[in-house]
Chains A and B, each alone.
Chain A
Amino acid sequence: MSALIVSPVLVPFVAAILCLLTRRSRRIQRVTNLVGAVALALCGGGLVALVTTSGVQSVQIGGWDAPVGVSFVVDRLSAGMVLITGIVALAIALYSVPMIDKRRELFGYYAMVNTLLMGVCGAFLTGDIFNLYVWFEVMLMSSFVLLALGGERPQLEGSIKYVTLNLLSSAIFLSAIGILYGLVGTLNMADLAVRVVQLDDSAKGMVSTLAVMFLVAFGIKAGVFPLFFWLPASYHTPPAPISALFAALLTKVGLYVILRVFTLIFVLDVPTTHTLILAAAGSSLIVGGLGAIAQNVLRRQLSFLIISSIGFALIGPGLMIGLGDRAYVDASAEVQAVVLLGLAGSIFYLFHTVLVKASLFILAGSIERWKGTDEIGRLGGLALERPWLSVMWAIAAFSLAGVPPLSGVFPKLALIGASFRGEHYGIAIVALVCSVLVLYAIARVWLEVFWKPSPDGEGGASERSRATASPAPAIVLSILIVAMGLGAGPVFSYCREAALGLLDPSDYIERVGVLDPGLDETEAQP
């Protein structure tokens, strides 16, 4: 069982080493990458099965007990994220075969994809905040290489901005970890959760400052307003499979960590810190929606849609301000219901948006190959030329806009419903306005790219380029988007359990095993 918990890190690690050893053979690397992705998805499925049957599980690396050694912890949220990561990895592995050119394949593309996946899964599973920093760096380093690989001018310019902003955010993260350790004396996240509530009042004020530092660091990585400028400047520059991988996973790791630390550790001053989260959510929604309307290049427009979807996913933790100074377990039933609904909605939205973003970026890459351009004005006529691609685009795009019965509508309903029930009318209205903006942006693309007659006639891309424009890898993602919508009941109850585990972390803390048996039981309650 402990092998299963670390397997999402080990599988990509082994695959990366095999890809490096066989870097002269493109075929062996492709097969290794594909097998690795299938294995990762299976590991994710195994973890989901494990946590649904027997709850939170942890393993101590190196045999040292919890507060000293590094813990790996899997709960419903992290298991779900690993499963989704595996599915996206599989789609990208299939998509890379026709789309990635020979030079990139021979210069370590597959190895870097696997180290990226290793970093992402490590960040989902670790229970130690310094270890989280290390996984972030593993992920970032791979993403730097993937972004710059090929060395085309826009790629390199995008890389400079991406690298600088991400290193700045890592430095803020590292500084915050240093001060947090000086203050609390532990790095294990479960142990931190226990010990921050025992600090005296002056130290608690410092913890709030640290919370804001963490919010800035992860906000840069997640691409929330006003820290998102690197994202639309860099995400559309590399080849489509790399864009799709980044768009699906990287910002979502930042979001996952915000969900984790702002429910487990930084819950001392909820009215301040979580109001900031809610404000960031609202402004990301508006800026992302307006930005998406203003763009005329397909992948740049999708980049702004990422920002608005991050705004949506942040509403859930933002709604925790309803708790005020009380812990979740002490709050009234009505407040509990609102907070739980909001957070469950955020988790559902997180799962959904990973699939949708991967699907849209894959399809946008295929459109670019088919027509030879990605400027919206010069595209057209795809509904007749590529009917299946159009159907898949419609599924992903209208799921993002929140058209029932696709997956996007249910988390949106939960988030907006929770905002109204919690009487946070401002954010509810902003979310509704943003939905209209996103729908407008998507409808415009639908009319321009798919229904309008093609301005260049049938011409554009060469036959050779068209032959590689297969959108087939997005099929599995489209099916899942529809399935998540039709089977929203079981998915939502899973997300609800995950949210409950975040809001009442006593089980998480106990399963990590940081409590001395001699400690009083009441101290376990943060």
Chain B
Amino acid sequence: MTLLMAMTIGVLYACSLYLLQRRNVVKLVFGLLILSHAANLLIFTASGLVRGRTTIIEAGETVLPVDTAPDPLPQALILTAIVISFGVTAFTIVLVHRVNAVVGTDDLDDMRATDSAGKAADA
């Protein structure tokens, strides 16, 4: 199971890095989205996978059995990270939409005004 998860995470990272290197800004957004999924799954897997159990203390017990129950903390971390990536993704989509409206292109190579400002002054 861990091996399968590790391979999934690896493929997700590879996909996102591939997408991040495309020139299309929409693919850039997808790349960032998949990257945050990959990181979340990594947190989930790295802290150890437990199948078929919940982090609920059994009736009559007072503590969680440390060796058999899954660790609740990574799940809390992932929830936080999901909320953050949700907000960031929403912002990025709006930004990309505005860029497309103002600049009139979705090609990153055409967005060079800020880099060429110095060069224009040189010429």
Interface set of A (CB-CB < 8 Å, partner B): 130, 133-134, 137, 140-141, 144-145, 148, 151-154, 156-161, 163-164, 167-168, 171, 174-175, 177-179, 181-183, 187, 233-234, 236-237, 294-297, 300, 375-377
Instruction: Apart from A137-B84, A154-B114, list 7 A-B contacts with CB within 8 A.
Output: A137-B88, A145-B91, A160-B28, A163-B95, A181-B77, A187-B73, A233-B114
Given the known interface contacts A237-B114, A297-B121, the answer about A160 and B35 at a Cβ–Cβ threshold of 8 Å is no
- Complex Cα distance A167/B31, Å? 11
**Residue in A140, A181, A294, A375 whose beta carbon sits within 8 Å of that of B46 in the complex:** A181
**Residue in A133, A182, A295 whose beta carbon sits within 8 Å of that of B48 in the complex:** A182
Write the B96-123 contact mask toward A (1 if CB under 8 angstroms, else 0).
1011001100001001111101100110
**Residue in A158, A179, A187 whose beta carbon sits within 8 Å of that of B42 in the complex:** A179
Given the known interface contacts A153-B103, A160-B111, A294-B118, the answer about A178 and B39 at a Cβ–Cβ threshold of 8 Å is yes
Kindly report which residue of chain A lies nearest to residue B48, judged by CB atoms.
A182
- Complex Cα distance A134/B88, Å? 12
Nearest CB of chain B from residue A100's CB, rounded to whole Å: 20
- Complex Cα distance A297/B115, Å? 11
Chain B residues whose CB sits within 8 angstroms of the CB of A152 once the complex forms:
102
Do B46 and A178 have beta carbons less than 8 Å apart?
Answer: yes
**Residue in B43, B92, B111, B118 whose beta carbon sits within 8 Å of that of A174 in the complex:** B43
- Complex Cα distance A159/B99, Å? 9
Chain B residues whose CB sits within 8 angstroms of the CB of A130 once the complex forms:
77, 80
Do A377 and B121 have beta carbons less than 8 Å apart?
Answer: yes
Chain B residues whose CB sits within 8 angstroms of the CB of A159 once the complex forms:
95, 99
Chain B residues whose CB sits within 8 angstroms of the CB of A233 once the complex forms:
114-115
Chain B residues whose CB sits within 8 angstroms of the CB of A297 once the complex forms:
117-118, 121
Nearest CB of chain A from residue B7's CB, rounded to whole Å: 16
Main secondary structure of the interface of B (DSSP, over half): helix
Kindly report which residue of chain A lies nearest to residue B117, judged by CB atoms.
A297
Nearest CB of chain B from residue A202's CB, rounded to whole Å: 15
Do A153 and B113 have beta carbons less than 8 Å apart?
Answer: yes
Do A148 and B118 have beta carbons less than 8 Å apart?
Answer: no
Chain A residues whose CB sits within 8 angstroms of the CB of B36 once the complex forms:
167, 171, 174
Chain B residues whose CB sits within 8 angstroms of the CB of A179 once the complex forms:
42, 46
A-B contact pairs, 30 of them (CB 8 A): A130-B77, A130-B80, A137-B88, A144-B95, A151-B98, A154-B114, A154-B117, A157-B111, A157-B114, A160-B95, A160-B108, A161-B114, A163-B92, A163-B95, A164-B28, A167-B92, A168-B35, A171-B38, A177-B43, A178-B39, A178-B46, A178-B47, A178-B77, A179-B46, A181-B43, A182-B45, A295-B118, A300-B118, A376-B121, A377-B121
Nearest CB of chain B from residue A285's CB, rounded to whole Å: 20
- Complex Cα distance A158/B102, Å? 13
Chain A residues whose CB sits within 8 angstroms of the CB of B44 once the complex forms:
178
- Complex Cα distance A300/B117, Å? 9
Do A178 and B43 have beta carbons less than 8 Å apart?
Answer: yes
Which B31-80 residues sit within 8 Å CB-CB of chain A?
32, 35-36, 38-40, 42-48, 73-74, 77, 80
Nearest CB of chain B from residue A328's CB, rounded to whole Å: 30
Any chain A CB within 8 A of the CB of B15? no
Any chain A CB within 8 A of the CB of B81? yes
Chain A residues whose CB sits within 8 angstroms of the CB of B108 once the complex forms:
160
Chain B residues whose CB sits within 8 angstroms of the CB of A168 once the complex forms:
20, 32, 35
- Complex Cα distance A187/B92, Å? 29
Nearest CB of chain A from residue B1's CB, rounded to whole Å: 15
- Complex Cα distance A154/B112, Å? 9
Kindly report which residue of chain B lies nearest to residue A167, judged by CB atoms.
B32
Do A148 and B98 have beta carbons less than 8 Å apart?
Answer: yes
Given the known interface contacts A151-B102, A174-B43, A294-B118, the answer about A181 and B88 at a Cβ–Cβ threshold of 8 Å is no
Do A171 and B39 have beta carbons less than 8 Å apart?
Answer: yes
Kindly report which residue of chain A lies nearest to residue B34, judged by CB atoms.
A171
- Complex Cα distance A148/B103, Å? 13
Do B98 and A156 have beta carbons less than 8 Å apart?
Answer: yes
Nearest CB of chain B from residue A71's CB, rounded to whole Å: 15
Chain A residues whose CB sits within 8 angstroms of the CB of B81 once the complex forms:
133, 174
- Complex Cα distance A158/B115, Å? 9
Chain A residues whose CB sits within 8 angstroms of the CB of B84 once the complex forms:
134, 137
Kindly report which residue of chain B lies nearest to residue A304, judged by CB atoms.
B118
